[in-house]
Structure 1
């Protein structure tokens, strides 16, 4: 399946599941509050299949699989096609319910998404999500100043356990946005645990928020490229001496474990002058080959001491860690993770409004979501469940924002009704609806703009 069609397919699956479950929350609570549900539709547009239940509800599967909706008996929402609410059913109309019942029905949608997130995370933890160990491959800059070293295993960041690299990445990236010193608990190679204070207040202003770890100076062990020889430039010291596939193990007696270590060692050798020994592994044999660096131009226009070879194209290594819990332990863990993600989303919204983070990196549209859905799905069932859970939490939080036309806006109306003892007037409600539509249209436009900007850049 191509990336385009894969992204489109997984976007439809994700939105179809999450929005339908959201609407089912409204449907389920409305039924238990005595409200008559006229239609429960999975999807929008022309009905592909429909059936009327004994309860009088029409159940529909529609042509456009982008979620769903629930239509309830409501005097204030009739469009003229349903006619007046019969007197015998007035007590089953949504608008005739007590304010507390209306609050329960409206809040049930976001709550359903939060419960779904817990269930999805529980399933992910039981299945087991393949990942990488939270081991540092290289520490520079701020990270090195804090005493972090290659080989350190990150145990916790600011009190949050980091069993895999993904948790460490999330915790460090969020901490970088706040720009405050954070405590990092690491385990050294001998097993000794040490707490280090990472001075994130020293991060440069305007650093790329999407590359926070690079700004901190951390590189994961699994991201280090192996020191394997790729293309060799003709007429250079390596031409006719090295072969593609050779693994460099040392340069001038200095050990090499990753490709990024080679250039500095070659530069030292060139500054010293004279030949040096480059040790390699080839077909199971260890060889020591004599070479002398030359001063050559780099692709970026500068010059450096070089031997004349590039690195072999390499993919990420196999996962070396799994995030897995037994079914009992996974329950509280899933609840905690859902709460953590919800809190982080609220805080991210606050950072965006305060200007501490770029709106470009905060608001994403359907293109970015589709690409993420495809990427997570390609990682396997556990990763896609993880993605669905995060998206479900996002949908819940988005709907709780106090914007008219969203669930949060309706809840705001009902809270005002509780405070003043009567519903808001029609004029105030209409103004709020127009304002809400304008805000949603603006956010939608911003999301599409950010998606297109990402594609272009």
Structure 2
């Protein structure tokens, strides 16, 4: 993907998230009477500065390093012995505020990120979210197949909660799995029967790597179209004349319903010639292919030597694709529901990282964020807004963790102050600051390492 898309999309994403987060601190501070000295988006050398014309002379800054920002407030602890705050302004110093005011100012930053996510989700629902009906393809020898799911099933509810779209299915499966790996799923079969099936994922490590959750469960969107993505040199596919981009219409006179059906037919015809009907561009071509024998788990099966993938046919797209669109009030409610879902899932996944159930390689840094920003921006406004909401929620949750340096660390100190009746000592804050810097530093190194490994792979 071009850097001409990635870099602007990344700067817009970070700029919006940082500005909204810091504006939360700024807005509440000013409403509660605390004097704000500087509002900075970014760190380091100022690239743009403006001073407000009111009595407070607030300095607004855009700085060179965009990965963060800060709101500097009047605070006696930040002045040396030779500098004193004028007596008439002491009551506006942050450190002189009562406990609830300080806590409200600190909490306002993460809260602003959650409110942004709600607003963005609501906007996407008002504009319309393009999605698909939850009709699944089931991969062989996976938890879904063992549970009795079949290709063509429509999933209608998970643990009693309705599923209306593919996006709902993905989110509800993860959310409910993190509560219990045993999922009760309501299904409408291709024949129109309503049945209940139990998907038990208790024995499968679902987050040990970055493989898609649904793929591990054995479920995929039933796209029905089967295509040749690549052909290995010297393989049966190459000898028969198959090419990357060919679309499989039939095998031995039968139209396979899924990639798994196609693979299974090929495996059953080792060293046997079979007729393929192929669409190549605008032309239909008949090709005879003889799958080569290979050993698979102690059995001899046929192999094409080709990369086979699914694609969505126009007919299936017309059948499954639809747009979710709601009025303003319904969209706001759904925005709150989705923000709550994402917040809970994010927090649970963070917790499971501590127990080792979720691999640390799932942590992403600025490079991965930039790539996703560019990808979603190239797809369209709806995709980019969805990405923006997810990152905003992640930023809000991360900042509420009880780690010194983060907003959650300050709130932890305020909780101690409320319990013991006096602020924590300067020595404790200094030790906490060093611990927080070490933890954040380690997290940043890990995130950058994961980014680097993703680029290498």
**TM class by smaller structure:** 0.7 to 0.9
- Counterpart of 1:96? 96
Task: Select which of 290, 293, 302 maps to 1:293.
Answer: 290
1:342, distance to aligned residue in structure 2 (A): 1.0
TM-score, scaled to structure 1: 0.85
- Counterpart of 1:330? 331
The 1:208–1:428 alpha-carbon spacing in structure 2 relative to 1, beyond 3 Å, is: closer
Distance, in Å, in 1 between the alignment partners of 2:230 and 2:419 is 71
Map Cα deviations across residues 374-409 of structure 1 (whole Å, 9 max, x no partner): 122222111111111111111111111111111111
The yes-or-no answer on 1:143 pairing with 2:144 is yes
Is the contact between residue 142 and residue 202 of structure 1 (CA under 8 Å) also seen in structure 2? Answer: no
Distance, in Å, in 2 between the alignment partners of 1:204 and 1:153 is 25
1:199, distance to aligned residue in structure 2 (A): 1.5
1:207, distance to aligned residue in structure 2 (A): 5.9
- Counterpart of 2:357? 356
Distance, in Å, in 2 between the alignment partners of 1:440 and 1:400 is 13
The yes-or-no answer on 1:265 pairing with 2:265 is yes
Comparing 433-442 with 227-236, greater Cα deviation is found at: 227-236
- Counterpart of 1:38? 37
Comparing 49-58 with 254-263, greater Cα deviation is found at: 254-263
Is the contact between residue 270 and residue 300 of structure 2 (CA under 8 Å) also seen in structure 1? Answer: no
- Counterpart of 1:48? 48
Is the contact between residue 114 and residue 396 of structure 2 (CA under 8 Å) also seen in structure 1? Answer: yes
The 1:379–1:55 alpha-carbon spacing in structure 2 relative to 1, beyond 3 Å, is: farther
Is the contact between residue 227 and residue 258 of structure 1 (CA under 8 Å) also seen in structure 2? Answer: no
Comparing 17-26 with 62-71, greater Cα deviation is found at: 62-71
Distance, in Å, in 2 between the alignment partners of 1:326 and 1:137 is 32
Name the SS of the counterpart of 1:450 in structure 2. helix
Map Cα deviations across residues 63-115 of structure 1 (whole Å, 9 max, x no partner): 4244432111110123689x321011111111111111111111111111111
Is the contact between residue 207 and residue 357 of structure 2 (CA under 8 Å) also seen in structure 1? Answer: no
Name the SS of the counterpart of 1:427 in structure 2. helix
- Counterpart of 1:199? 200
The 1:159–1:61 alpha-carbon spacing in structure 2 relative to 1, beyond 3 Å, is: farther
Please tell me the root mean square deviation across aligned C-alpha atoms, in Å: 3.4
Comparing 26-35 with 246-255, greater Cα deviation is found at: 246-255
Name the SS of the counterpart of 1:76 in structure 2. helix
- Counterpart of 1:70? 71
Distance, in Å, in 2 between the alignment partners of 1:58 and 1:375 is 37
Q: How many residues end up aligned between the 2 structures?
A: 446
- Counterpart of 1:250? 250
Map Cα deviations across residues 261-285 of structure 1 (whole Å, 9 max, x no partner): 33432343446x5x55545668999
Is the contact between residue 280 and residue 286 of structure 1 (CA under 8 Å) also seen in structure 2? Answer: yes
1:377-456 correspondence runs (5 A) = 377-456=377-456
Map Cα deviations across residues 145-164 of structure 1 (whole Å, 9 max, x no partner): 21211111222333444333
1:162-311 correspondence runs (5 A) = 162-173=163-174, 180-203=181-204, 208-222=209-223, 225-227=225-227, 247-270=247-270, 277-279=275-277, 291=288, 293=290, 295=292, 305=302, 310=306
Distance, in Å, in 2 between the alignment partners of 1:350 and 1:90 is 41
Distance, in Å, in 1 between the alignment partners of 2:11 and 2:409 is 26
Is the contact between residue 176 and residue 212 of structure 1 (CA under 8 Å) also seen in structure 2? Answer: no
Distance, in Å, in 2 between the alignment partners of 1:313 and 1:205 is 23
1:453, distance to aligned residue in structure 2 (A): 1.9
1:24, distance to aligned residue in structure 2 (A): 0.8
Distance, in Å, in 1 between the alignment partners of 2:237 and 2:72 is 75
Distance, in Å, in 2 between the alignment partners of 1:351 and 1:434 is 25
Query: Unpaired runs of 5+ in structure 2?
Result: none
Distance, in Å, in 2 between the alignment partners of 1:7 and 1:276 is 46
The 1:371–1:174 alpha-carbon spacing in structure 2 relative to 1, beyond 3 Å, is: farther
Distance, in Å, in 1 between the alignment partners of 2:267 and 2:399 is 56
Name the SS of the counterpart of 1:48 in structure 2. strand
Name the SS of the counterpart of 2:18 in structure 1. helix
Distance, in Å, in 1 between the alignment partners of 2:432 and 2:370 is 31
Is the contact between residue 228 and residue 259 of structure 1 (CA under 8 Å) also seen in structure 2? Answer: no
- Counterpart of 1:157? 158
Is the contact between residue 207 and residue 215 of structure 1 (CA under 8 Å) also seen in structure 2? Answer: no
The 1:106–1:295 alpha-carbon spacing in structure 2 relative to 1, beyond 3 Å, is: closer
1:205, distance to aligned residue in structure 2 (A): 8.8
Distance, in Å, in 2 between the alignment partners of 1:297 and 1:158 is 42
TM-score, scaled to structure 2: 0.85
Query: Unpaired runs of 5+ in structure 1?
Result: none
The 1:448–1:80 alpha-carbon spacing in structure 2 relative to 1, beyond 3 Å, is: farther
Comparing 402-411 with 65-74, greater Cα deviation is found at: 65-74
